[in-house]
Amino acid sequence: MADVFAVFHFLRPYWLLALVPVVALWWQLRPRRRIEGKVTQGVAPHLARALTVGFEEGRRIYPIDGLALALVLLVLAAAGPTWSRLANPLLAQTAPLAVVLKVPPSMENTDVQPSRHKRASFKILDLIERRTGAQTALIAYAGSAHRVTPLTEDPNILRSYLSGLAPAIMPKEGDRADQALALAQMELARSQTPGAILFVLDDFNPSNLRAFTQAASDRPPVIFFVLGGQAGTLRQIRDIQNASFVQVTPDDSDLDQIERRVLSAYREALLADTTQQWDDRGWLLARPAILLFLPWFRRGWTLQWVLVFLLCVPAAKPAQAEGWLGWRDWFLTPDQQGQIGHEQP
């Protein structure tokens, strides 16, 4: 939510100047409670309140209140509030993900049932099923890092290769998370859509800390998915910039966290893309404004002078006056209108 307020702005802020006449009009036309002091002079206050006609009218909601609120909403909508960019339709709308799995002998420990490695495999498979149609790469590391599969949208390929991974097939024992990070970055660089890196591990070697902290803001976001591990290791991971931490859970709440953070990383990268247009969200305010106009159909809520205001709007912009007569656009495409105009004598 804080990120939304950080990028919130108006595309057409000059429209906000229209709030001044709207508020002034509301203040001028709203009825006010008037009680003449001379009339109630010498009368007990409680009797004066009971005998004064229209004393409670100050608590009523007048038609001008609904109109003013509707106009304020319309002005804000015309100003073009926005807090996100339009996604590029030529690119994938789901962020690619590089899954980096640590496969040392310690992953065979059974403190996480049935074992750390098997639980990690199950979680990765569930995550792949959730990301149907999204690109996912698989990288394995221990004493060395290896690309198992490149970015692919086929979950069957990932499933077959993941089932064959085991500590016994790794050429070296150790913890070269730095090499795995470099491979993951190279893999994501092949995609035009910004993505994230998911490290699935049980421990973290402090010697790799430099690779994750150096130029952290320039690399893709890293999500550490931890199975087991010691408190000191987890504390080191939490302090890494442009990285987040998720601990394994018995249910799917850990996968929900991972999906939210991958989506958040994609949205942040989209906001940083200055080539994409901002998404105008003014239409969200137009709907409640229309609802506020519904009471006008009731007797006593009609404001005749509003028609004068509506007629002045197209007069203020002669170039756009033709748009008020363009009712045919509601039902016919430009090609259909052109054909009708051609056939007419």
Structural domain boundaries of the chain? 2-84+280-303, 97-272
Q: If residue 10 lies in a helix (H) or strand (E), which one and from where to where?
A: strand 9-10
Looking at every residue in the chain, the average pLDDT score rounds to: 76
User: d(Cα 280, Cα 67) in Å, to the nearest integer?
Assistant: 24
Q: How far is CA 152 from CA 96, 133, 287, in A?
A: 9, 9, 42
Q: Bigger pLDDT: 112 or 308?
A: 112
pLDDT for 327 equals 57
Q: Which helix (H) or strand (E) holds 309?
A: helix 306-316
| pLDDT for residue 179 | 92
Residue 30 pLDDT grade (very low, low, confident, very high; cuts 50, 70, 90): confident
- In terms of Cβ atoms closer than 10 Å to its own Cβ (0-12, 13-18, 19+), residue 221 is buried
Q: What pLDDT is recorded for position 145?
A: 92
The β-bridge relationship of strands 81-82 and 9-10 is: antiparallel
Buried b (16+ CB within 10 A) or exposed e, 315-342: eeeeeeeeeeeeeeeeeeeeeeeeeeee
Scanning 44-115, the segments in alpha helix (DSSP H) are: 45-51, 63-78
Share of the chain above pLDDT 90, in %: 11
For residue 146, what pLDDT band results from cuts at 50, 70 and 90? very high
CATH of 97-272, one of 3.40.250.10, 3.40.50.410, 3.60.21.10, 3.40.50.720: 3.40.50.410
Q: What is the pLDDT of residue 131?
A: 83
Express each pLDDT in 38-85 by its tens digit. Answer: 555 667 777 766 666 554 445 567 777 778 888 888 888 888 888 776
Predicted confidence band of residue 310 (pLDDT cuts 50, 70, 90) = low
Q: Which of 238, 212, 209 is nearest to 226 (CA)?
A: 238
How much is the pLDDT for 320? 42
Cβ neighbours of residue 49 closer than 8 Å, sequence gap 6 or more: 55
- Closest alpha carbon to 176 in 199, 159, 195, 149: 199
**Band (315; pLDDT cuts 50, 70, 90):** very low
Which is higher by pLDDT, 110 or 139?
139
Contact at 8 Å (CB) between 226 and 245?
yes
Q: pLDDT category, 148, cuts 50, 70, 90?
A: very high
Given a cut of 70, whether residue 331 has pLDDT beyond it is no
CA distance linking residue 241 with residue 213, whole number of Å: 6
